[in-house]
Structure formats: structure tokens, C-alpha cells
Amino acid sequence: MTAMQAPRGMRDLLPGDVEQWQAVEAAVHDLAGRWGFREIRTPVVEHTEVFQRTAGEDTDLVSKEMYTFVDRGGRSLSLRPEGTAPVMRAYLEHGLQQGPQPGKFYYVAPMFRYDRPQKGRYRQHVQFGAEIIGTPHPAADAEVLTLPVRLLQALGLTEVEVRLNSVGDAACRPQYLAALRDYFNTRLEELCEDCRHRVDRNPLRVLDCKRPGCQRVVHDAPTVFSFLCDDCRRHFDGVKRHFDLLQVRYVIDPFIVRGLDYYTRTAAEVFSGRLGAQNAMFGGGRYDGLAQQLGGPSTPGVGFGFGLDRLLIVLEQEGLARPVDRSAEVCVVTMGETARIEGVRLLDELRAAGIRAEGDLLDRPARAQMKHADRLRARYALVVGESELAAGTVTLREMSSGEQTPLVRAEAVSALRGRLRTETTGRL
Ligand code: HAM
């Protein structure tokens, strides 16, 4: 049976759905271009190390969710579960630090996570992500993290609120981690088994646990704000100031720590009530240590990843998904073999003239071809029969009214194009 089913948690996007995706993708490319981001495409698989060294061995993403396999050359490769480490890997590999700085990159790409599938959570999902690499300036954090907010606004979702936090850096985080450890050790028996292990190895991960018991403990945990060093505090103030400047709403949430280990300083997430409390629409932040984790020179970076599958769910539920009409403008209907041959030529001319045109590939009788034109919701049929062949004409039939007009064959394509144009401008 599995030969007739997509893998669990992976979806087919069928015609009809795909047009919605194309509309969102067009908005994404347009916006990213205006913001000065250049598209980057990295392979779907990377050396497993790329993720182990950066996202972190203790994260769910690396320890439980990666699709990892050994290739025929004995290398451990993984389907990419996220886009930031691959972009940094490419930046370092190709010496992109020699280009204009900072580097600004974006991607619209499938990611793979072996997670428990549910609404808005898939084993293959598509992320729109953007990264600014090469500057520690808080203006960069604000520029990149407000871009997805502008995308949501452009698509009609105006009530967006970003949850912002700082997770500190190498100078101040150790003190915070020690305080967290001390606190969690006083309430160890209330934590889930995974979290009990995390307390020693990586207590920030406990803050990110979604289990209600752990959330209750987290509620009273010390927050990072008493521990931030002066540099981190200044940076965070700078980020907030720029958000204010851009008039993008945010709330400070000290428990936004993100599910990946590479973050330093800024962490941000945006939720939607439409997706449930656990599922963010987008998340991101700063990762000033990531390049070094990969073995490169110290290189600051900041970015976000936006789950487009989730965005489409929200747009649909908010009634903001716009229907896209891709139905045929005209169907060529023919009667008899000579007319069929003429129809093939006519179809090609129509398409070359920029008209969405469809014909018959099943040798159907004319009446069935007409029915097919109806099913395709074509506006017109162009009929070629023996009498038309003899007279050097074709018959234009308006499908909704049944009204028929003879057109001189040589002028038929331009006449139809003229009609379609006036209809379109008339509609605007
Ligand atoms: P992330 O929070 O793991 O961050 O994922 C980013 C977004 O991808 C999420 O907010 C969500 O919208 C979407 N997403 C994640 N997992 C799934 C899933 N299983 N099904 C559907 N959508 C999903 C990152 O991946 C970072 N690389 C983001 C980033 C870029 N940070 C800095 N630059």
C-alpha cells in the first residue's frame, strides 16, 4: 500500500493549493528583493556535522528529528532540518566575506524534521528564511526580524506582535545557566525525564520544553535579565529602540530561548492563535558564535525562519487566501482529422500570443470537447469544423452565453487577444 501513499508527515500540494503557494512566494521574493536580500540555494543534504556542531547535540532537532543516513562513500549526511547553518557553511566555503558587507541572503526551501505530525507540523515543511551575516549592529537584528512582520502585513495580517528576548552571550550566559541549574535542582522531581537530563547539560532547553509540568516550573525560574552583561544589555536596548523606530509591536518574553543552541543575544518568535500555543509562525535571532562552531572565523549573524505551511494555514483561516484564476481562457474544439491538425496549429499560435489555451488530446467527439471546455471553466471555445475550414474561418463561442461569432482564421488570434484584454481591463 505504501507505494500509493506519500510518506507520513509529508504532503502533496495539488493544483489549486499550489497557486496559493505561488502567490505567497511571489510576495516573499518581492519583499526580500526590496530589502536587499539575495537568494541563496544550498543542497538539501549537508554533512551531519553542520547541524551537530551548531544546532547542538542535546536539541530535539539533532537528537531526535534528523533524517540521517550514510551514503555509499561512508559519509554521514542529513536532510537539512533548518537553513541557517547551511547558509553560514556556504558563506564560509565560498569566501562570501569578501563580498559587500554585511552579506544579506534569503531562501525559500524545504526542511525535514522527523517530528510527530499534526496540523501545522510536518516532516517536510518549507521555510522562508533570511540572514544578515557580518554585522553585530542591533539595527541588523531589527531589519531582518521586522521583515517577516512586513510580509504578514502585506498579506493582510496586521495584528502581529513579536516576542523578543535576549539569551546573553559567552560572557554572561554561564552565570545565568548556573542560576537556572540551581533553581531546577530544587524542583527536579516536577520535571519530565528529558528535562531532568537537560538540567546539567543544557538548562536553557528546559525553558523550551512544552510539557505542562515543566512549564509550571519554568514559570518561576530566574530570568536572564538579572544576568545580562553590559554589552548584551546595550545590544538588546538597541534592538528594542529600532523596533520602536519602525513601529513594530513587540513584547518582552524572557522564556523565548529557541529550540536551537546557536543563538546569542536576540531571540524572537511570533505566534498566531490560529496555530495553537506551541507553534510559532516564525522564529529567529542572533547567532554570533555559529561561524566558529563550524570551524570558521568569528562572524556575527542574525536571521529568521518562517514556516510557509503555517502561514498558508493562517491566511486560509483568516479568509485572506486569494483565489487565483488559472483556468483556460480558450479551448480549441475540432471536428474531423483535417480540423484536428488545424487545431494543433491554432493552439500553438494562441499560446505564443500569451493566451491560456487548451485543446483535445483524447480524440473526443466535438460535444465531449465542449463539455471538457466547461469543466476547465474556459471563457471561450474556438471551433474548427469542416464548414469553417472551407470558409477560412473559426467560430468563437462564448461559453457562458453560448453566443457564437465567426472570425477570419488569419485574424482569429489577435481578435481573441483583443477581446480578452478589454475584458481584463474592463474588470480592473
Ligand atoms: P525554527 O524555529 O526551528 O528556526 O523554525 C523556524 C520556523 O519554521 C518555525 O517558526 C515554524 O514556522 C517553521 N517550522 C519549524 N518546524 C516545522 C514543522 N515541523 N512543520 C511546519 N513548520 C515548521 C530555524 O529553523 C532557524 N533556522 C531560524 C533562523 C534563521 N534563525 C536565525 N536565522
pLDDT at 400: 96
Ligand 1: residue whose CA is nearest its atom 30? 304
Ligand 1: residue whose CA is nearest its atom 25? 82
What percent of the chain has pLDDT above 70? Answer: 99
pLDDT at 159: 85
pTM of the model: 0.94
- Average pLDDT over the chain reads 95
Cα–ligand 1 centroid distance for 428 (angstroms): 38
Each residue's pLDDT tens digit, 113-139: 999 999 999 999 999 999 999 999 999
Cite the beta strand spans of 253-392 per DSSP E.
264-271, 280-286, 301-307, 330-334, 357-358, 380-384
Q: Which residues line ligand 1 (CB under 6 A)?
A: 82-84, 113, 115, 120-122, 125, 127, 129, 131, 259, 280-285, 287, 303-307, 309-310
Cα–ligand 1 centroid distance for 127 (angstroms): 7
Q: What 3-state class would DSSP assign to 56?
A: coil
CA 231, 228, 287, 304 dihedral sign is: negative
Cα–ligand 1 centroid distance for 319 (angstroms): 24
Per-residue 3-state assignment (H helix, E strand, C coil) for 187-256: CHHHCCHHHHHHHHHCCHHHHCCCCHHHHHHHHCCCCHHHCCCHHHHHHHHHHHHHHHHCCCCEEECCCC
Q: Is the model's pLDDT at 428 over the cut of 60?
A: no
Cα–ligand 1 centroid distance for 212 (angstroms): 22
Q: What 3-state class would DSSP assign to 330?
A: strand
Provide mean pLDDT across the span 244-254. Answer: 96
Q: Give, rounded to a whole angstrom, the gap between the first and last alpha carbons of the chain.
A: 49
Ligand 1: residue whose CA is nearest its atom 5? 305
Q: What DSSP character marks residue 134? A: S
* Cα–Cα nearest to 115, from 397, 309, 323: 309
Cα–ligand 1 centroid distance for 279 (angstroms): 10
Residue 258: pLDDT band with limits 50, 70, 90? confident
Each residue's pLDDT tens digit, 75-102: 999 999 999 999 999 999 999 999 999 9
Q: What 3-state class would DSSP assign to 397?
A: strand
Q: Cα–Cα distance between 397 and 340 in angstroms, integer?
A: 17
pLDDT at 208: 83
Each residue's pLDDT tens digit, 178-231: 999 999 999 999 999 989 989 998 898 898 888 899 999 999 999 999 999 999
Angle subtended by helix axes 17-34 and 308-317, to nearest 10 = 110
Atom of ligand 1 nearest to the CA of 260: 3
Residue 380 bridge partners (DSSP): 330, 398
Ligand 1: residue whose CA is nearest its atom 6? 305
Cα–ligand 1 centroid distance for 202 (angstroms): 20
